[in-house]
């Protein structure tokens, strides 16, 4: 019964979708492609863009489509992974959550970085036509399913529904990325020459399923939504095997954020035309008009050249096909003045300077008698003046230390206590030493009855 239902579904999908859209190369096809709305991709172009990733599992495909709009971050993440290869440090990088999720699968990340023109075009298609992108994925899956190259196995689970096909991981804790040739997998075996390839679809090494796969494809509404690890199917099977963190499971991720500035990025059409394995007669030449329109603003040019170089130089205009810029008139260079070397002036027949002029020449030209008398004089000994003795230093007497000159009482804690204790130990003063008016004078008074 199950086989009959699967066969009936394959027949229905084949009849409704009729496989990949094969262009005949006729003038009508080229004219239809040129007349497609400005800034949008035709269905054939979307097939060519999505053919390499249409058979990816839904959780990974949902993150990949959003990450394609952050092409700059994809390149930065690829450089970072090639330099460090640290899966635990990905969560702490300032990238979008979709780029972090794709970075946990290095083969997919490197493919997007190496084909940056394809990644930019895919992001532009998802920004302009998200529903058409989702429809093109289902069209390609139906073609692969009808050709017999898409089926459930030990790597992924293929779940056909009424009008769409769902692909989810088979194991609850690991995910396998499929590897295939688009020009083979979407066609029946009689379409490509023999011998047949041994494996039409192969799979890479197992990669872990983590909290970063927090989005899913809603094929009914043709959109991508945030599930927060709440749901049925593969989400319920994998939830016990993952570590929930607020980096990926957070209410801030409910609204799917995309980078709409990717539409301003220019695409190298020569590189993009290589991905036409499904429709060889259909190219992406109509995107050249959009690139010229998006980049018509002169402020979106090469800002590095505008900042660091002189734009008035003719080499920039010659290389860009512009008329040469008017150069300012050159100033007339005046001949440099050569400094004449002055020859030394020789003074001849000039009388010697007198002694009054104070020159050394007049001092040396003394009469010979004076020279002899000066030579006979004994040299005067230099007598140094006796140094005067330094003034005596005033010795400042320091106040006596606490307890100096007295018997120090160690039990006294303060000077006042020591002073009071020392006064108590001194002998009492005699009456003779006291002044007048004390008991000494009284003792000298005669006793009553006696005469003085």
Question: Does 18 fall in a domain?
Answer: yes
User: DSSP secondary-structure letter at 215?
Assistant: E
Q: Are strands 156-160 and 165-169 parallel, antiparallel or unpaired?
A: antiparallel
Q: Read off the tokens for 363.
A: 């001092």
In a domain, 382, yes or no: no
The answer, as to whether pTM is greater than 0.85, is no
Cα 25 versus chain centre, distance: 47
Domain around 17:
2-308
Query: Would residue 331 count as lying in a domain?
Result: no
How many domains would you assign to the chain? 1
Q: Does any domain span residue 314?
A: no
Has residue 430 been placed in a domain? no
Determine the pLDDT at residue 391. Answer: 74
Q: Is 204 exposed, middle or buried (0-12, 13-18, 19+ CB in 10 A)?
A: middle
Q: What pLDDT tens digit does each residue of the chain (452 aa) get?
A: 444 444 444 444 444 444 555 443 433 344 434 444 455 899 999 999 999 999 999 999 999 999 999 999 999 999 999 999 999 999 999 999 999 999 999 999 999 999 999 999 999 999 999 999 999 999 999 999 999 999 999 999 999 998 999 999 999 999 999 999 998 899 887 766 566 666 789 999 999 999 999 999 999 999 999 999 999 999 999 999 999 999 999 999 999 999 999 999 988 888 888 877 777 777 887 766 555 544 444 444 443 334 454 556 555 455 444 455 555 565 666 666 655 556 556 555 555 555 554 444 545 555 666 566 566 666 666 666 666 777 777 666 665 555 555 555 666 666 666 666 666 666 665 555 555 555 544 445 555 555 54
**278 token code pair:** 């499904």
The tokens describing 104, both together, are: 């946990």
d(CA 111, CA 371): 105
Residue where the block lists tokens 């945030």: 226
**Model pLDDT for residues 64-115, shown as the tens digit of each residue:** 999 999 999 999 999 999 999 999 999 999 999 999 999 999 999 999 999 9
Question: For residue 354, is it within any domain?
Answer: no
How far is Cα 90 from Cα 101, in angstroms, rounded to an integer?
A: 9
Instruction: Indicate the SS3 state at residue 26.
Output: coil
Domain-located, residue 323:
no
**148 located within any domain:** yes
What are the pLDDT digits (tens) for 313-369?
Answer: 555 455 444 455 555 565 666 666 655 556 556 555 555 555 554 444 545 555 666
């Amino acid at each position: 019964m199950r086989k009959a239902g699967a066969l009936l579904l394959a027949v229905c999908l084949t009849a409704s979708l009729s496989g990949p859209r094969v262009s005949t190369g006729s003038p009508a096809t080229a004219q239809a492609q040129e007349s497609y709305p400005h800034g949008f991709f035709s269905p054939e172009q979307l097939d060519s863009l999505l053919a390499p990733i249409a058979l990816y599992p839904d959780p990974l495909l949902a993150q990949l489509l959003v990450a394609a709009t952050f092409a700059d971050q994809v390149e930065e993440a690829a450089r970072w992974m090639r330099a460090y290869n640290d899966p635990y440090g990905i969560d702490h990088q300032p990238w979008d959550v979709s780029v972090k999720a794709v970075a946990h699968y290095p083969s997919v990340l490197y493919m997007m970085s190496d084909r940056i023109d394809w990644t930019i075009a895919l992001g532009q298609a998802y920004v302009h036509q998200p529903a058409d992108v989702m429809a093109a994925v289902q069209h390609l899956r139906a073609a692969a399913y009808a050709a017999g190259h898409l089926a459930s196995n030990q790597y992924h689970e293929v779940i056909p529904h009424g009008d769409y096909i769902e692909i989810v991981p088979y194991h609850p804790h690991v995910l396998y990325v499929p590897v295939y040739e688009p020009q083979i997998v979407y066609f029946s075996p009689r379409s490509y020459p023999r011998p047949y390839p041994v494996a039409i679809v192969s799979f890479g090494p197992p990669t872990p399923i983590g909290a970063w796969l927090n989005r899913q494809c809603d094929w009914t509404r043709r959109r991508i939504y945030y599930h927060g690890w709440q749901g049925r199917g593969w989400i319920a099977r994998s939830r016990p095997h993952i570590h929930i963190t607020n980096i990926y499971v957070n209410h801030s991720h409910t609204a799917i954020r995309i980078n709409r500035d990717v539409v301003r990025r220019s695409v190298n059409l020569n590189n993009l035309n290589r991905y036409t394995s499904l429709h060889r007669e259909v190219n992406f030449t109509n995107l050249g008009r959009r690139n010229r329109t998006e980049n018509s603003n002169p402020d979106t040019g090469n800002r590095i050249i505008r900042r660091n170089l002189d734009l008035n130089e003719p080499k920039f205009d010659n290389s860009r096909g512009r008329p040469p810029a008017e150069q300012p008139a050159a100033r007339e260079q005046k001949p440099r003045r050569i400094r004449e070397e002055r020859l030394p002036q020789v003074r001849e027949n000039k009388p010697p300077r007198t002694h009054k002029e104070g020159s050394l020449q007049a001092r040396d030209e003394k009469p010979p008698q004076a020279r002899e008398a000066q030579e006979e004089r004994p040299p005067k000994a230099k007598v140094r003046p006796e140094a005067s003795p330094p003034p005596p230093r005033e010795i400042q007497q320091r106040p006596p230390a606490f307890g100096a000159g007295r018997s120090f009482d160690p039990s006294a804690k303060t000077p006042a206590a020591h002073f009071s204790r020392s006064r108590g130990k001194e002998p009492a003063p005699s009456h003779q030493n006291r002044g007048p008016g004390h008991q000494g004078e009284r003792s000298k008074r005669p006793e009553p009855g006696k005469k003085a």
